[in-house]
Amino acid sequence: MENTFRRLGPIYRESLGSQSSVNIMLPMDIGELFRSEGLHPRRMTLQPWATHRETRRHSKGVFLKNGTEWRSDRLLLNKEVMVASAVRRFLPLLDDVARDFCHSLRQRVETEGVGERDQRSMTLDPSPDLFRFALEASCHVLYGERIGLFSSSPSEEAERFIWAVERMLATTPPLLYLPPRLLLALRAPLWTQHATAWDHIFSHAEARIQRGYQRLQTAVGGASDGRFQGVLGQLMEAGQLSSELIKANITELMAGGVDTTAVPLQFALFELARNPDVQERVRAQVLSSWEQASGDPQKALQGAPLLKGVVKETLRLYPVGITVQRYPVRDIVLQNYRVPAGTLVQVCLYPLGRSPEVFECPERFEPSRWAASGEGFRSLAFGFGSRQCVGRRIAENEMQLLLLHVSDAETLRLAHVGFIGVKFRVITVN
């Protein structure tokens, strides 16, 4: 994408298999696109995912829905995962997991590290631990229960879930531009792997959801005792979504909440480690904020805006999804080209984030660049408007809290300095 924009300019048309799109990257064009998205914004359907739901007779969650049905379900979910009152409910659960992660990391440094007491260090690949952190945090918020991934022997069930999500993401790209019905008819191995991975994801969610229903039924009068029971418990108590729709949306949130959080955290730690001056500024702000917050994680985050900047800057350079898509409901003009209503238009986030036309010194990792008010369609890693990522508030706070506690406790350094490659697997990975 980046190379094609360099060759052809800020807009081009592309065809891949059965998909045709107009690709853009400049904020002025992005603004025009979003102003024409309509009341029911529509993005490209991940057809392999939709085909799995149809063949297994599962309901679809908001990620795979469009139109009025999408809007009604989305408004109900927003109450439990997007609004400020929802964030206040689930933030302590995320903080518990982030604290445990850092405590576990500190114990490993003390027992396995080298050097003098209080100056010990160790070299490790954080990837497996970050995946466990993301799964533990997602389960705690969505189901209201811990699954013990920081113990010495993580459950086989959890390891299978992580494997299933990775397999599902790895098999999605080659299926995106091929007719899934044809693969289904031919019983292609790639489709079988994809469907089997989704089956594992759904069975994991089903077991957790059943436990959630049992907890709710055994509570006094069928209601909770006032404690936050997770998003699942909130949706059950509200009774506005059917059990099938609850399962569909909780499963999508779980499947979309592990790699999409763990991988950006890897990139964030990498950038902090190779930019020690930035790391020290973040640490100084975190220490000052903790002192003022008196142990309240929400106040601590509010007093350390550089943490939000670290997340935004990481997602600028390494966006989780490489495009945001919309189908405009009216004809629009982009770069003097008329784009007819109903055309798939893709905002290309990777070249946007690295463009010198949009960002000053785009190669520099500088969280403070986000301190100025107004983003002007430059920070779109979670999408935009009513169709932005439904798990955005969970993911943002999850990443900021982990960085908060790591910055408070550890100093990061790179064992080897070199190029870190990125590749596309539905999401950007290293």
Q: Which residues are annotated as a binding site for heme?
A: 389
H or E element in which residue 171 lies: helix 156-176
- How many beta carbons lie within 10 A of that of residue 59, not counting itself? 18
- Cβ atoms 357, 28 nearer than 8 A: no
**Cα torsion at 46, 52, 58, 60 (round to 10°)?**
0
- Cβ atoms 282, 369 nearer than 8 A: no
Q: Provide the β-strand partners of residue 260.
A: none
Q: Enumerate the known binding-site residues.
A: 389
If you ran DSSP here, which 8-state letter would residue 360 be given? S
- Cβ atoms 340, 346 nearer than 8 A: no
Strand-pair category, 19-24 with 11-16: antiparallel
32 token code pair: 């025009």
- Cβ atoms 328, 3 nearer than 8 A: no
- Cβ atoms 246, 236 nearer than 8 A: yes
